[in-house]
Structure 1
Protein backbone atom coordinates (compact mmCIF):
# COMPACT_ATOMS: atom_id res chain seq x y z
CA UNK A 1 0.00 0.00 0.00
CA UNK A 2 1.62 3.23 -1.18
CA UNK A 3 2.07 6.42 0.81
CA UNK A 4 0.07 9.16 -0.90
CA UNK A 5 1.71 12.15 -2.51
CA UNK A 6 -1.28 14.43 -1.90
CA UNK A 7 -3.86 14.67 0.83
CA UNK A 8 -7.28 13.26 -0.08
CA UNK A 9 -10.43 15.24 0.65
CA UNK A 10 -12.55 12.11 1.12
CA UNK A 11 -12.06 8.41 1.86
CA UNK A 12 -13.96 5.51 0.31
CA UNK A 13 -13.30 2.22 2.06
CA UNK A 14 -14.27 -1.30 1.11
CA UNK A 15 -16.22 -3.40 3.63
CA UNK A 16 -15.41 -7.11 3.27
CA UNK A 17 -11.76 -7.90 3.68
CA UNK A 18 -11.02 -4.52 5.24
CA UNK A 19 -13.63 -3.49 7.83
CA UNK A 20 -15.42 -6.83 8.06
CA UNK A 21 -14.01 -10.34 7.85
CA UNK A 22 -15.70 -13.67 7.31
CA UNK A 23 -14.77 -17.23 8.28
CA UNK A 24 -13.28 -18.65 5.09
CA UNK A 25 -13.50 -22.22 6.44
CA UNK A 26 -17.25 -22.05 7.10
CA UNK A 27 -18.39 -23.20 3.65
CA UNK A 28 -16.33 -26.41 3.81
CA UNK A 29 -17.64 -27.21 7.28
CA UNK A 30 -21.23 -26.76 6.12
CA UNK A 31 -20.63 -28.77 2.96
CA UNK A 32 -19.20 -31.62 5.01
CA UNK A 33 -22.11 -31.48 7.47
CA UNK A 34 -24.70 -31.58 4.66
CA UNK A 35 -22.94 -34.11 2.45
CA UNK A 36 -22.21 -31.62 -0.32
CA UNK A 37 -19.10 -31.58 -2.53
CA UNK A 38 -16.37 -29.24 -1.37
CA UNK A 39 -16.55 -25.94 -3.24
CA UNK A 40 -20.16 -26.42 -4.25
CA UNK A 41 -21.55 -23.53 -2.17
CA UNK A 42 -19.18 -21.03 -3.74
CA UNK A 43 -19.77 -22.49 -7.18
CA UNK A 44 -23.53 -21.96 -6.77
CA UNK A 45 -23.82 -18.74 -4.76
CA UNK A 46 -20.77 -16.90 -6.05
CA UNK A 47 -21.09 -17.78 -9.73
CA UNK A 48 -20.19 -14.54 -11.52
CA UNK A 49 -23.45 -14.22 -13.43
CA UNK A 50 -25.58 -14.75 -10.32
CA UNK A 51 -23.44 -12.70 -7.95
CA UNK A 52 -23.43 -9.76 -10.35
CA UNK A 53 -27.22 -9.68 -10.26
CA UNK A 54 -27.18 -9.75 -6.45
CA UNK A 55 -24.64 -6.95 -5.98
CA UNK A 56 -26.33 -4.68 -8.50
CA UNK A 57 -29.76 -5.05 -6.92
CA UNK A 58 -31.39 -6.98 -9.74
CA UNK A 59 -31.92 -9.79 -7.24
CA UNK A 60 -32.60 -9.16 -3.56
CA UNK A 61 -30.99 -11.32 -0.86
CA UNK A 62 -33.85 -13.84 -0.83
CA UNK A 63 -33.96 -14.17 -4.62
CA UNK A 64 -30.19 -14.60 -4.83
CA UNK A 65 -30.15 -17.41 -2.26
CA UNK A 66 -33.19 -19.04 -3.85
CA UNK A 67 -31.51 -19.17 -7.25
CA UNK A 68 -28.27 -20.35 -5.66
CA UNK A 69 -30.27 -23.14 -3.99
CA UNK A 70 -31.62 -24.21 -7.37
CA UNK A 71 -28.07 -24.45 -8.66
CA UNK A 72 -26.80 -26.28 -5.61
CA UNK A 73 -29.59 -28.88 -5.64
CA UNK A 74 -28.63 -31.46 -8.25
CA UNK A 75 -32.10 -33.04 -8.15
CA UNK A 76 -35.43 -31.70 -6.80
CA UNK A 77 -35.29 -34.04 -3.81
CA UNK A 78 -32.02 -32.42 -2.73
CA UNK A 79 -33.42 -28.89 -2.66
CA UNK A 80 -34.28 -28.91 1.04
CA UNK A 81 -30.75 -29.97 1.93
CA UNK A 82 -29.27 -27.33 -0.39
CA UNK A 83 -31.53 -24.62 1.05
CA UNK A 84 -30.53 -25.50 4.61
CA UNK A 85 -26.84 -25.42 3.73
CA UNK A 86 -27.05 -22.03 1.99
CA UNK A 87 -29.10 -20.51 4.82
CA UNK A 88 -26.48 -21.66 7.32
CA UNK A 89 -23.69 -20.27 5.12
CA UNK A 90 -25.37 -16.88 4.64
CA UNK A 91 -26.48 -16.39 8.25
CA UNK A 92 -23.23 -15.23 9.98
CA UNK A 93 -22.65 -11.48 9.98
CA UNK A 94 -18.87 -11.74 10.08
CA UNK A 95 -16.57 -9.92 12.49
CA UNK A 96 -15.52 -6.30 12.59
CA UNK A 97 -11.89 -5.21 12.55
CA UNK A 98 -12.19 -2.56 15.23
CA UNK A 99 -8.65 -1.33 14.63
CA UNK A 100 -9.51 -0.42 11.04
CA UNK A 101 -12.86 1.00 12.10
CA UNK A 102 -11.17 3.15 14.72
CA UNK A 103 -8.65 4.52 12.24
CA UNK A 104 -11.42 5.41 9.80
CA UNK A 105 -13.45 7.04 12.57
CA UNK A 106 -10.49 9.24 13.47
CA UNK A 107 -10.04 10.31 9.85
CA UNK A 108 -13.78 10.99 9.62
CA UNK A 109 -13.27 13.86 12.08
CA UNK A 110 -11.33 15.63 9.32
CA UNK A 111 -12.71 14.51 5.94
CA UNK A 112 -15.83 12.63 4.79
CA UNK A 113 -15.47 8.85 5.02
CA UNK A 114 -17.85 6.39 3.36
CA UNK A 115 -17.99 2.63 3.04
CA UNK A 116 -18.16 1.49 -0.59
CA UNK A 117 -19.13 -2.13 -1.09
CA UNK A 118 -20.30 -4.63 -3.64
CA UNK A 119 -23.06 -5.77 -1.33
CA UNK A 120 -26.46 -7.42 -1.46
CA UNK A 121 -29.68 -5.88 -0.21
CA UNK A 122 -28.88 -7.27 3.26
CA UNK A 123 -25.71 -5.24 3.75
CA UNK A 124 -27.32 -2.29 5.54
CA UNK A 125 -28.90 -4.49 8.21
CA UNK A 126 -25.68 -6.47 8.67
CA UNK A 127 -23.61 -3.35 9.32
CA UNK A 128 -26.27 -1.95 11.61
CA UNK A 129 -26.31 -5.16 13.67
CA UNK A 130 -22.51 -5.17 13.80
CA UNK A 131 -22.46 -1.57 15.06
CA UNK A 132 -20.46 -0.31 12.09
CA UNK A 133 -23.00 2.29 10.99
CA UNK A 134 -23.00 3.75 14.50
CA UNK A 135 -19.38 4.74 13.82
CA UNK A 136 -19.42 5.36 10.06
CA UNK A 137 -22.89 6.34 8.92
CA UNK A 138 -22.35 6.69 5.18
CA UNK A 139 -22.67 3.47 3.16
CA UNK A 140 -22.65 3.28 -0.63
CA UNK A 141 -24.02 -0.16 -1.47
CA UNK A 142 -23.74 -1.37 -5.05
CA UNK A 143 -27.12 -3.09 -4.73
CA UNK A 144 -28.74 0.34 -4.28
CA UNK A 145 -26.68 2.04 -7.02
CA UNK A 146 -27.27 -0.59 -9.69
CA UNK A 147 -23.57 -0.75 -10.57
CA UNK A 148 -20.75 -2.65 -8.92
CA UNK A 149 -17.00 -2.19 -8.63
CA UNK A 150 -14.98 -1.93 -10.83
CA UNK A 151 -17.48 -0.10 -13.07
CA UNK A 152 -16.79 3.61 -13.31
CA UNK A 153 -20.44 4.43 -12.54
CA UNK A 154 -20.19 3.37 -8.91
CA UNK A 155 -16.99 5.37 -8.33
CA UNK A 156 -18.57 8.47 -9.87
CA UNK A 157 -21.74 7.96 -7.81
CA UNK A 158 -19.67 7.64 -4.65
CA UNK A 159 -17.74 10.85 -5.28
CA UNK A 160 -20.96 12.68 -6.06
CA UNK A 161 -22.54 11.35 -2.87
CA UNK A 162 -19.67 12.82 -0.84
CA UNK A 163 -19.64 16.06 -2.81
CA UNK A 164 -15.91 15.75 -3.53
CA UNK A 165 -14.24 15.68 -6.98
CA UNK A 166 -13.43 12.16 -8.07
CA UNK A 167 -9.71 12.84 -8.28
CA UNK A 168 -9.69 14.05 -4.66
CA UNK A 169 -11.29 10.89 -3.23
CA UNK A 170 -9.16 7.96 -2.09
CA UNK A 171 -10.36 4.37 -2.48
CA UNK A 172 -9.04 1.72 -0.08
CA UNK A 173 -9.85 -1.80 -1.26
CA UNK A 174 -8.46 -5.31 -0.89
CA UNK A 175 -9.22 -6.33 -4.50
CA UNK A 176 -6.67 -5.30 -7.10
CA UNK A 177 -9.14 -5.12 -9.99
CA UNK A 178 -11.29 -2.65 -8.03
CA UNK A 179 -8.24 -0.51 -7.27
CA UNK A 180 -7.27 -0.63 -10.94
CA UNK A 181 -10.81 0.33 -12.01
CA UNK A 182 -10.75 3.42 -9.83
CA UNK A 183 -7.32 4.46 -11.05
CA UNK A 184 -8.38 4.13 -14.68
CA UNK A 185 -10.87 6.98 -14.26
CA UNK A 186 -8.56 9.17 -12.21
CA UNK A 187 -9.55 8.23 -8.65
CA UNK A 188 -6.55 7.61 -6.39
CA UNK A 189 -6.71 4.11 -4.94
CA UNK A 190 -4.57 1.83 -2.79
CA UNK A 191 -4.62 -1.90 -2.20
CA UNK A 192 -5.30 -2.72 1.45
CA UNK A 193 -2.68 -5.02 2.95
CA UNK A 194 -2.97 -4.57 6.72
CA UNK A 195 -3.04 -2.20 9.66
CA UNK A 196 0.42 -0.71 9.42
CA UNK A 197 0.23 0.14 5.75
CA UNK A 198 -3.23 1.64 6.30
CA UNK A 199 -1.83 3.87 9.03
CA UNK A 200 0.84 5.13 6.65
CA UNK A 201 -1.72 5.90 3.96
CA UNK A 202 -4.09 7.66 6.35
CA UNK A 203 -1.19 9.77 7.62
CA UNK A 204 -1.76 11.81 4.45
CA UNK A 205 -4.98 13.03 6.06
CA UNK A 206 -4.26 15.76 8.63
CA UNK A 207 -4.81 15.02 12.31
CA UNK A 208 -8.10 16.63 13.43
CA UNK A 209 -6.36 18.56 16.22
CA UNK A 210 -3.84 19.97 13.77
CA UNK A 211 -6.54 20.59 11.20
CA UNK A 212 -8.48 22.84 13.54
CA UNK A 213 -11.45 20.57 14.20
CA UNK A 214 -13.90 18.41 12.31
CA UNK A 215 -14.89 18.92 8.68
CA UNK A 216 -18.14 20.67 7.96
Structure 2
Protein backbone atom coordinates (compact mmCIF):
# COMPACT_ATOMS: atom_id res chain seq x y z
CA UNK A 1 0.00 0.00 0.00
CA UNK A 2 1.29 3.47 -0.87
CA UNK A 3 1.52 5.79 2.11
CA UNK A 4 2.16 9.55 1.79
CA UNK A 5 4.24 11.17 4.51
CA UNK A 6 3.08 14.73 3.79
CA UNK A 7 0.41 16.59 1.87
CA UNK A 8 1.56 17.36 -1.68
CA UNK A 9 1.67 20.92 -2.99
CA UNK A 10 1.29 19.77 -6.62
CA UNK A 11 0.22 16.68 -8.49
CA UNK A 12 2.04 15.21 -11.48
CA UNK A 13 -0.06 12.65 -13.35
CA UNK A 14 0.62 10.22 -16.15
CA UNK A 15 -1.70 10.21 -19.17
CA UNK A 16 -1.80 6.84 -20.94
CA UNK A 17 -3.20 4.13 -18.73
CA UNK A 18 -4.56 6.71 -16.29
CA UNK A 19 -6.28 9.64 -18.01
CA UNK A 20 -6.45 8.04 -21.44
CA UNK A 21 -7.24 4.39 -22.17
CA UNK A 22 -6.36 2.55 -25.35
CA UNK A 23 -7.67 -0.63 -26.95
CA UNK A 24 -4.90 -3.13 -26.23
CA UNK A 25 -6.40 -5.68 -28.66
CA UNK A 26 -6.25 -3.35 -31.68
CA UNK A 27 -2.89 -4.67 -32.91
CA UNK A 28 -3.99 -8.28 -32.51
CA UNK A 29 -7.13 -7.69 -34.56
CA UNK A 30 -5.13 -6.02 -37.34
CA UNK A 31 -2.64 -8.89 -37.37
CA UNK A 32 -5.44 -11.44 -37.60
CA UNK A 33 -7.15 -9.45 -40.36
CA UNK A 34 -4.01 -9.27 -42.52
CA UNK A 35 -2.43 -12.61 -41.65
CA UNK A 36 0.52 -11.08 -39.83
CA UNK A 37 2.32 -13.19 -37.20
CA UNK A 38 1.21 -12.15 -33.74
CA UNK A 39 3.30 -9.46 -32.11
CA UNK A 40 4.90 -8.11 -35.29
CA UNK A 41 3.19 -4.69 -35.16
CA UNK A 42 4.42 -4.07 -31.63
CA UNK A 43 7.87 -5.41 -32.48
CA UNK A 44 8.13 -2.98 -35.40
CA UNK A 45 6.69 0.10 -33.71
CA UNK A 46 7.77 -0.33 -30.10
CA UNK A 47 11.42 -1.19 -30.58
CA UNK A 48 12.99 0.57 -27.55
CA UNK A 49 15.48 2.62 -29.59
CA UNK A 50 12.84 3.76 -32.08
CA UNK A 51 10.32 4.50 -29.33
CA UNK A 52 12.91 6.56 -27.47
CA UNK A 53 13.49 8.66 -30.57
CA UNK A 54 9.83 9.54 -31.02
CA UNK A 55 9.07 10.26 -27.35
CA UNK A 56 12.10 12.54 -27.01
CA UNK A 57 11.36 14.48 -30.18
CA UNK A 58 14.14 13.03 -32.30
CA UNK A 59 11.56 12.08 -34.92
CA UNK A 60 7.93 13.05 -35.46
CA UNK A 61 4.97 10.70 -35.12
CA UNK A 62 4.68 10.66 -38.92
CA UNK A 63 8.33 9.68 -39.26
CA UNK A 64 7.83 7.01 -36.60
CA UNK A 65 4.96 5.58 -38.64
CA UNK A 66 7.07 5.46 -41.81
CA UNK A 67 10.00 3.79 -40.06
CA UNK A 68 7.81 1.27 -38.25
CA UNK A 69 5.98 0.48 -41.49
CA UNK A 70 9.28 -0.24 -43.16
CA UNK A 71 10.15 -2.70 -40.44
CA UNK A 72 6.72 -4.31 -40.62
CA UNK A 73 6.87 -4.72 -44.40
CA UNK A 74 9.17 -7.73 -44.08
CA UNK A 75 6.35 -9.59 -42.31
CA UNK A 76 3.77 -9.07 -45.06
CA UNK A 77 3.03 -10.89 -48.27
CA UNK A 78 2.01 -7.48 -49.63
CA UNK A 79 4.58 -5.03 -48.21
CA UNK A 80 2.74 -2.09 -49.76
CA UNK A 81 0.06 -2.50 -47.06
CA UNK A 82 2.53 -1.93 -44.24
CA UNK A 83 2.15 1.86 -44.09
CA UNK A 84 -1.65 1.64 -44.14
CA UNK A 85 -1.69 -0.98 -41.39
CA UNK A 86 0.76 0.92 -39.21
CA UNK A 87 -1.13 4.16 -39.74
CA UNK A 88 -4.38 2.45 -38.75
CA UNK A 89 -2.76 1.10 -35.59
CA UNK A 90 -1.30 4.47 -34.58
CA UNK A 91 -4.33 6.61 -35.44
CA UNK A 92 -6.85 5.96 -32.62
CA UNK A 93 -6.63 8.63 -29.93
CA UNK A 94 -8.10 6.30 -27.35
CA UNK A 95 -10.83 7.25 -24.90
CA UNK A 96 -10.83 9.40 -21.80
CA UNK A 97 -11.51 7.97 -18.36
CA UNK A 98 -14.06 10.58 -17.31
CA UNK A 99 -13.88 9.59 -13.65
CA UNK A 100 -10.13 10.22 -13.56
CA UNK A 101 -10.50 13.58 -15.30
CA UNK A 102 -13.21 14.62 -12.85
CA UNK A 103 -11.07 13.63 -9.86
CA UNK A 104 -8.02 15.45 -11.20
CA UNK A 105 -10.01 18.53 -12.17
CA UNK A 106 -11.40 18.71 -8.64
CA UNK A 107 -7.86 18.44 -7.23
CA UNK A 108 -6.74 21.19 -9.62
CA UNK A 109 -9.01 23.63 -7.80
CA UNK A 110 -6.69 23.29 -4.79
CA UNK A 111 -3.22 22.58 -6.16
CA UNK A 112 -1.52 22.57 -9.57
CA UNK A 113 -2.10 19.37 -11.58
CA UNK A 114 0.41 18.76 -14.36
CA UNK A 115 -0.01 15.94 -16.87
CA UNK A 116 3.36 14.30 -17.57
CA UNK A 117 3.70 11.92 -20.48
CA UNK A 118 6.16 10.12 -22.69
CA UNK A 119 4.28 11.35 -25.74
CA UNK A 120 4.75 12.21 -29.39
CA UNK A 121 4.22 15.48 -31.21
CA UNK A 122 0.57 14.46 -31.65
CA UNK A 123 -0.18 14.49 -27.93
CA UNK A 124 -1.37 18.09 -27.62
CA UNK A 125 -3.72 17.62 -30.57
CA UNK A 126 -5.12 14.41 -29.12
CA UNK A 127 -5.73 15.86 -25.67
CA UNK A 128 -7.47 18.90 -27.15
CA UNK A 129 -9.73 16.79 -29.36
CA UNK A 130 -10.53 14.47 -26.46
CA UNK A 131 -11.53 17.43 -24.29
CA UNK A 132 -8.85 16.86 -21.66
CA UNK A 133 -7.06 20.18 -22.14
CA UNK A 134 -10.17 22.15 -21.20
CA UNK A 135 -10.06 20.60 -17.72
CA UNK A 136 -6.33 19.97 -17.27
CA UNK A 137 -4.33 22.49 -19.29
CA UNK A 138 -0.89 22.01 -17.71
CA UNK A 139 1.20 19.50 -19.67
CA UNK A 140 4.80 18.31 -19.92
CA UNK A 141 5.23 16.28 -23.10
CA UNK A 142 8.55 14.43 -23.39
CA UNK A 143 8.62 14.97 -27.16
CA UNK A 144 8.74 18.74 -26.60
CA UNK A 145 11.52 18.80 -24.00
CA UNK A 146 13.82 15.97 -25.11
CA UNK A 147 13.60 13.99 -21.86
CA UNK A 148 11.39 10.98 -21.14
CA UNK A 149 10.36 9.26 -17.93
CA UNK A 150 12.03 8.06 -15.79
CA UNK A 151 14.65 10.76 -16.49
CA UNK A 152 15.11 13.13 -13.57
CA UNK A 153 14.88 16.09 -15.94
CA UNK A 154 11.27 15.50 -16.97
CA UNK A 155 10.20 15.41 -13.32
CA UNK A 156 12.16 18.58 -12.55
CA UNK A 157 10.62 20.40 -15.49
CA UNK A 158 7.15 19.28 -14.41
CA UNK A 159 7.78 20.54 -10.88
CA UNK A 160 8.91 23.89 -12.30
CA UNK A 161 5.75 24.01 -14.40
CA UNK A 162 3.75 23.45 -11.22
CA UNK A 163 5.73 26.14 -9.42
CA UNK A 164 6.75 24.00 -6.45
CA UNK A 165 9.84 22.12 -5.37
CA UNK A 166 10.24 18.54 -6.58
CA UNK A 167 9.89 16.90 -3.17
CA UNK A 168 6.51 18.59 -2.67
CA UNK A 169 5.05 17.03 -5.83
CA UNK A 170 3.16 13.75 -5.87
CA UNK A 171 3.45 11.55 -8.96
CA UNK A 172 0.62 9.27 -10.05
CA UNK A 173 1.71 6.74 -12.68
CA UNK A 174 0.73 3.25 -13.80
CA UNK A 175 4.32 2.18 -14.58
CA UNK A 176 6.39 0.92 -11.65
CA UNK A 177 9.66 1.95 -13.31
CA UNK A 178 8.52 5.58 -13.47
CA UNK A 179 7.23 5.52 -9.90
CA UNK A 180 10.58 4.15 -8.74
CA UNK A 181 12.44 6.83 -10.70
CA UNK A 182 10.47 9.57 -8.99
CA UNK A 183 11.04 8.08 -5.55
CA UNK A 184 14.79 7.96 -6.13
CA UNK A 185 14.64 11.74 -6.51
CA UNK A 186 12.89 12.09 -3.17
CA UNK A 187 9.49 12.72 -4.74
CA UNK A 188 6.46 10.87 -3.36
CA UNK A 189 4.88 8.62 -5.98
CA UNK A 190 1.87 6.32 -6.12
CA UNK A 191 1.39 3.40 -8.49
CA UNK A 192 -1.98 3.82 -10.19
CA UNK A 193 -4.10 0.69 -10.37
CA UNK A 194 -7.63 2.01 -10.66
CA UNK A 195 -9.94 4.70 -9.40
CA UNK A 196 -9.66 3.76 -5.74
CA UNK A 197 -5.87 4.09 -5.77
CA UNK A 198 -6.29 7.59 -7.18
CA UNK A 199 -8.96 8.52 -4.64
CA UNK A 200 -6.71 7.36 -1.79
CA UNK A 201 -3.84 9.46 -3.13
CA UNK A 202 -6.03 12.53 -3.59
CA UNK A 203 -7.38 12.20 -0.07
CA UNK A 204 -4.08 13.66 1.13
CA UNK A 205 -4.72 16.91 -0.76
CA UNK A 206 -6.18 19.75 1.33
CA UNK A 207 -9.38 21.42 0.27
CA UNK A 208 -7.47 24.64 -0.41
CA UNK A 209 -3.86 25.13 -1.43
CA UNK A 210 -3.16 27.31 1.57
CA UNK A 211 0.59 26.92 1.28
CA UNK A 212 2.90 29.28 -0.56
CA UNK A 213 4.33 27.81 -3.73
CA UNK A 214 8.07 27.43 -3.99
CA UNK A 215 9.70 28.32 -7.30
CA UNK A 216 12.83 26.20 -7.74
Aligned counterparts of 2:163 and 2:196: Cα–Cα separation in 1: 29
SS of corresponding position for 1:87: helix
TM superposition shift of 1:22: 0.3
Q: In the alignment, what sits opposite 2:153? A: 153
Structure 1 residue 206 corresponds to structure 2 residue 206: yes
Structure 1 residue 55 corresponds to structure 2 residue 55: yes
* TM-score for the superposition, normalised by structure 1: 0.93
Aligned counterparts of 2:114 and 2:160: Cα–Cα separation in 1: 12
SS of corresponding position for 1:99: helix
TM superposition shift of 1:79: 3.4
Structure 1 residue 188 corresponds to structure 2 residue 192: no
Runs of 4+ in structure 1 deviating by more than 4 angstroms, as ranges, are none
Aligned counterparts of 2:76 and 2:203: Cα–Cα separation in 1: 56
TM superposition shift of 1:34: 1.8
Q: In the alignment, what sits opposite 1:90? A: 90
SS of corresponding position for 2:129: helix
Aligned counterparts of 2:87 and 2:58: Cα–Cα separation in 1: 20
Cα shift readout 1:104-157 (whole Å, capped 9, x = no counterpart)? 000000000010000011011011110000110011100001010001111111
Structure 1 residue 122 corresponds to structure 2 residue 122: yes
Aligned counterparts of 1:80 and 1:205: Cα–Cα separation in 2: 53
SS of corresponding position for 1:144: helix
5+ residue gaps, structure 2: none
Q: In the alignment, what sits opposite 1:111? A: 111
Larger deviation: 38-47 or 77-86? 77-86
Cα shift readout 1:35-80 (whole Å, capped 9, x = no counterpart)? 2111111000011010000000001010111110111111898432
TM superposition shift of 1:33: 1.3
Q: How do residues 130-169 of structure 1 correspond to structure 2 at under 5 angstroms?
A: 130-169=130-169
CA contact (8 A) 2:40 2:75 kept: no
Coordinate RMSD, CA, aligned: 1.6
Q: In the alignment, what sits opposite 2:33? A: 33
Change (3 A) 1:8 1:35: same
Cα shift readout 1:9-46 (whole Å, capped 9, x = no counterpart)? 00000000000000011101011112211111100001
* TM-score for the superposition, normalised by structure 2: 0.93
CA contact (8 A) 2:119 2:141 kept: yes
